[in-house]
């Protein structure tokens, strides 16, 4: 994520753009433009050492009847299976992460306003000194079907009389979803909500007397969000 160097003052946004204050599931590119935020693609190369760090006992077995966690994560179409395999690969003794927790709320004006469906992975052995003076690295995990499902439920029509199909409501649902659906799922404005929720979580872990602004969050706090999309089970994206 990148932020505009000269975003509009927050007071101006509050006074003149009341339509900004909607459920984060309804955020669009227009909302990001108003606050000077945009997505930027960054090319990364996976090094051999990084791949070695991700190896598990599954990778060392010469032959096995069942697919490994790595294979299932890449090819299995079911979100619950992908999630279980990711936890098996990343969490536990000798692995990078010590524990997982349900993702926290996104706060606005010091009030919890929305809780996305995501998971937070906590690194192993974070020393207290590190937590006090800098931001402990966190990784968030999200399966994109949760986003689509939550959006659909926002506009799901009630049944017609006697339980009949509500064709008018179904058409309205289709129109509303088309209005907010991003052209590319990897640039969904809703990801900004989850990234900010991760940044806010890290801010609460820091012992700092100075408030941290959203701009500082996006540049100085270390976190990542792994997003998976199941219409193409091999498709994933990392947001930094």
Q: pLDDT in tens for each of the 240 residues of the chain?
A: 555 556 566 567 667 777 678 899 999 998 888 878 888 777 665 554 444 445 555 555 555 567 888 888 888 888 888 889 889 988 988 888 888 899 999 998 889 999 999 999 888 775 555 445 556 677 888 888 889 999 999 999 998 888 888 999 999 999 999 999 998 888 899 999 998 998 888 888 776 555 554 433 333 334 456 655 545 445 555 655
- Distance between CA atoms of 105 and 77, rounded to whole angstroms? 28
Which two tokens mark 6? 């000269």
Q: What is the reported pLDDT for 98?
A: 87
pTM (2 d.p.): 0.73
Q: What is the reported pLDDT for 156?
A: 92
Q: What is the reported pLDDT for 48?
A: 46
Dihedral angle at the C-alpha atoms of 88, 93, 99, 100, nearest 10 degrees?
-10
CB distance 131 to 117 below 8 Å: no
CB distance 138 to 98 below 8 Å: no
Q: What is the reported pLDDT for 43?
A: 67
Q: What is the reported pLDDT for 167?
A: 92
Burial of 141 (0-12, 13-18, 19+ CB in 10 A): buried
Helices (H), the chain: 10-16, 29-34, 48-53, 57-60, 69-75, 79-90, 128-133, 144-155, 167-180, 190-205, 214-220
- Distance between CA atoms of 212 and 201, rounded to whole angstroms? 12
């Amino acid at each position: 994520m990148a932020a505009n160097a000269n975003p509009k003052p927050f007071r101006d946004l509050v006074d003149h753009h009341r339509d900004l204050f909607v459920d984060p599931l309804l955020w669009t590119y227009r909302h990001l433009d108003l606050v000077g935020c945009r997505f930027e693609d960054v090319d990364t190369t996976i090094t051999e050492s990084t791949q070695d760090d991700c190896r598990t006992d599954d990778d060392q077995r010469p032959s096995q009847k069942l697919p490994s966690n790595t294979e299932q994560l890449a090819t299995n179409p079911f979100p619950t299976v992908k999630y279980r395999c990711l936890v098996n690969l990343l969490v536990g003794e000798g692995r990078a992460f010590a524990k997982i927790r349900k993702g926290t709320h996104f706060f606005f004006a010091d009030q919890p306003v929305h809780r996305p469906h995501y998971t937070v992975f906590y690194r192993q052995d974070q020393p207290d000194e590190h937590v006090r003076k800098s931001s402990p690295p966190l990784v968030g995990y999200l399966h994109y079907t949760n986003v689509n499902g939550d959006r659909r439920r926002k506009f799901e029509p009630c049944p017609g009389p006697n339980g009949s199909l509500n064709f008018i409501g179904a058409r309205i649902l289709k129109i509303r979803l088309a209005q907010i659906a991003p052209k590319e799922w990897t640039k969904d404005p809703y990801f900004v909500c989850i990234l900010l929720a991760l940044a806010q979580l890290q801010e609460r872990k820091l012992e700092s007397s100075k408030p941290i602004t959203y701009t500082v969050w996006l540049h100085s706090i270390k976190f990542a969000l792994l997003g998976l999309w199941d219409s193409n089970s091999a498709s994933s994206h990392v947001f930094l």
